Structure 1
Amino acid sequence: MASPPAPRRDADADAGAAFVLESKGEWWHAGFHLTTAIVGPTILTLPYAFRGLGWGLGCLCLTAMGVVTFYSYSLMSQVLEQCEKEGRRHIRFRELAADVLGSGWMFYFVIFIQTAINTGIGIGAILLAGECLQIVYSNLSPNGSLKLYHFIAMVTVVMIVLSQLPTFHSLRHINLGSLFLSLGYTFLVVGACVNAGLSKNAPPRDYSLESSESARIFSAFTSISIIAAIFGNGILPEIQVNLNFCFIF
């Protein structure tokens, strides 16, 4: 495949953007960047989503949303490549939106939406990571003196350090480690569930939905909203721009 055009090097070019646009990644880097971007805290809510929809409808909705999401990724990837062929290589969603939809209010609208979502995700991820560390610490040292806010502060410092890395390519080793941890967690949970299900002391299985109709409706909509966002991520342009070849899903 043809290599993408080199970034502009004129005096008016953004030095930071020019550095980011130096593509160094390979296709397998995109694989674990995308996987770790999707596999997040939202995955932990899937059992609740299936609890509200049931096995049949839950699997159907999850499959349908996966097809829709990855088809959307494919379309966006093609748009990014087309813009690149025309000499406009984008590294952020807001730049892509301004190019496709116009550089007026849409640019600031996307910035507002992204800021709101990223703020919520950032706060939630820090709190969740702090709570997880506290659980591990409590099991290892039941009488320890560290409190939850200590672990939240630790996670915040780590996040600040990671945010200083210049490109997504700089995170490739960290994301690879995250991928292995995610796979390990998945296998452990599946194995534990199978073992619990086959155990003689297994709790009784109950796959029934809520008893009242209103509760079933609320649970169904909550479950659909969870599944709708389960495969989403906001870093597709950043992933694609770090590849040293044109990439189409």
Structure 2
Amino acid sequence: MSEKPPYVSLHVEESPSNAKSNPADAGAAFVLESKGTWYHAGFHLTTAIVGPTVLALPYALRGMGWGPGLLSLTVAFLITYYNYMLMSKVLDHCESKGRRHIRFRELAADILGSGWMYYFVVTVQATINTGVSIGSILLAGDCLEIMYTDLYPDGPLKLYHFIIIVTVVLILLSQLPSFHSLRYINLASLVLCLAYTLLVVIGCIRAVTTSSEF
């Protein structure tokens, strides 16, 4: 007999205010009582989506040319849009039945109706998060080393120093209670992403203009 999947109920007896008395629901109650606004959500979503992978797309697709490159980006956009639309409809359906999910593992367990699926999704999420965290730390440390060596070619700091610095910063940030606490950091990240995009566009236009002159 399969286990009943956990979920956050919208009924009065299990509302966020009453969930405070239950330690198992403390995290859900905290999230549901968030004071964030829609533009705070925009900061968080942009920062989550526009990561190193997306920023590296121009370099990754440069060998494909304009036609195949734009086609690949369009296909990726359509697939991503369909996935988010499908997930939104599923979440709305569950919420209309009195179950509001705020975690992927709970949503998967509710949809597939199997207790083992809950733990399967937990394992997959933990694996992905571990890989992304390690990759982000290494990439950030490498970028800091590049900037450092440009400014101080004979400086004493090595790559592992910057990896330690990034790791310590991430450990400190991980102690913040919620994404809402990161809203100003994510706003700065959004500004940097827009600045990066602007610089890439200007650089591409300049490269095309310069090459056409010769």
Which of 123, 129, 147 is the equivalent residue of 2:158? 147
Question: Structure 2 matches for 1:120-199, cutoff 5 A?
Answer: 120-199=131-210
Moved more, 33-42 or 18-27: 18-27
Moved more, 44-53 or 146-155: 44-53
Structure 2 counterpart of 1:50: 61
Structure 2 counterpart of 1:118: 129
Q: Does 1:98 align with 2:80?
A: no
Q: Structure 2 unaligned segments of length 5 or more: list them.
A: 1-9
SS state of the match for residue 24, structure 1?
Answer: coil
Moved more, 34-43 or 46-55: 46-55
Which of 9, 19, 22 is the equivalent residue of 2:30? 19
Moved more, 6-15 or 130-139: 6-15
Question: Structure 2 matches for 1:192-211, cutoff 5 A?
Answer: 192-199=203-210
Following the alignment from structure 2 to structure 1, what is the Cα–Cα distance between the partners of residues 65 and 172?
Answer: 42
Following the alignment from structure 1 to structure 2, what is the Cα–Cα distance between the partners of residues 156 and 133?
Answer: 13
SS state of the match for residue 31, structure 1?
Answer: helix
Structure 1 counterpart of 2:3: none
Q: TM-score, normalised by structure 1?
A: 0.72
Q: Which whole-Å deviations, capped at 9, do the CAs of 1:131-163 have from their partners, x for residues lacking one?
A: 111111111222211111111001001111111
1:91 partner letter: I
Following the alignment from structure 2 to structure 1, what is the Cα–Cα distance between the partners of residues 92 and 33?
Answer: 15
Structure 1 counterpart of 2:43: 32
Q: Structure 1 unaligned segments of length 5 or more: list them.
A: 205-249
Change (3 A) 1:103 1:172: farther
Query: What is the CA distance between 1:201 and its match in structure 2?
Result: 9.3
Query: What is the CA distance between 1:48 and its match in structure 2?
Result: 4.5
Fraction of identical pairs, as percent: 65
Following the alignment from structure 1 to structure 2, what is the Cα–Cα distance between the partners of residues 51 and 187?
Answer: 18
Which of 109, 119, 136 is the equivalent residue of 1:108? 119
Q: Which structure has more helix as a fraction of its residues? A: 2
Following the alignment from structure 1 to structure 2, what is the Cα–Cα distance between the partners of residues 200 and 19?
Answer: 56
Following the alignment from structure 1 to structure 2, what is the Cα–Cα distance between the partners of residues 147 and 50?
Answer: 31
Structure 1 counterpart of 2:98: 87
Query: What is the CA distance between 1:81 and its match in structure 2?
Result: 3.0
Which of 18, 36, 51 is the equivalent residue of 1:9? 18
Q: With CA pairs under 8 Å and 6+ residues apart, which has the higher RCO, 1 or 2?
A: 1
Structure 2 counterpart of 1:244: none
Is the CA contact (8 Å cut-off) linking 1:134 and 1:151 kept in structure 2? yes
Is the CA contact (8 Å cut-off) linking 1:49 and 1:58 kept in structure 2? no
Following the alignment from structure 2 to structure 1, what is the Cα–Cα distance between the partners of residues 88 and 212?
Answer: 50
Following the alignment from structure 1 to structure 2, what is the Cα–Cα distance between the partners of residues 196 and 57?
Answer: 21
Query: What is the CA distance between 1:98 and its match in structure 2?
Result: 1.0
Moved more, 172-181 or 191-200: 191-200
